[in-house]
């Protein structure tokens, strides 16, 4: 399953305690359909004292959330919108904002079979 959300995209969380939060995507797990968003869905992990962590205690870390619970924020219209994929005239594939129809970056390089003649 190819997802249209990428690392370093700005997304808006739609559901949960962190709803309406805009933040950067840190990691994407395509196989599980999950993303880790900076500062969202934080949990405490209790760790023992060790050489790596001499103090021990509670570490706060982000946990993954389902990719269907986030929307990409368009740079042009600054709205959380759905994303589409389209082929350009040269045969390359790009992401685009469904609200303002602005291009959001290339997905695949040019393919001569898809080029318009």
Whether pTM exceeds 0.85: no
Gyration radius from the chain CA atoms: 18
- The domain spans of the chain are 1-50+57-73, 78-117
DSSP code for 74 = P
- What are 5-39's pLDDT values in tens digits? 999 999 999 999 999 999 999 999 999 999 999 99
pLDDT, residue 91, reads: 87
Residues 69 and 35: their CA atoms lie apart, in Å, by 9
- What are 67-91's pLDDT values in tens digits? 999 999 998 999 999 999 999 888 8
Question: Does residue 109 have a pLDDT over 60?
Answer: yes
* Helix, coil or strand: residue 60: strand
pLDDT, residue 1, reads: 41
Question: Does residue 2 have a pLDDT over 70?
Answer: no
User: What are the helix (H) ranges across 3-85?
Assistant: none
pLDDT, residue 110, reads: 86
pLDDT, residue 13, reads: 96
- The topology under which CATH files domain 1-50+57-73 is SH3 type barrels. (2.30.30)
Task: From 21, 32, 38, 110, select the one nearest 73 (Cα to Cα).
Answer: 21
Distances (CA, A) of 107 to 26, 44, 54, 114: 19, 36, 44, 14
Task: Provide CB contacts within 8 A for 106, sequence distance 6+.
Answer: 92, 93, 94
- Tokens describing residue 98: 């469904």
pLDDT, residue 3, reads: 63
């Amino acid at each position: 399953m190819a997802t249209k959300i990428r690392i370093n995209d700005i997304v808006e969380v739609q559901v949960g305690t962190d709803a309406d939060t805009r933040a950067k995507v840190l990691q994407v797990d395509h196989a599980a359909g999950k993303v880790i968003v900076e500062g969202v869905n934080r949990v405490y992990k209790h760790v023992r004292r060790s050489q790596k962590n001499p103090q021990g205690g509670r570490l706060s870390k982000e946990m993954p959330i389902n990719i269907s619970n986030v929307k990409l924020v368009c740079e042009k219209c600054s709205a959380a919108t759905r994303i589409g994929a389209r082929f350009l005239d040269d045969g390359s594939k790009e992401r685009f904002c469904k609200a303002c129809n602005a291009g959001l970056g290339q997905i695949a390089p040019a393919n001569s079979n898809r080029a318009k003649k």
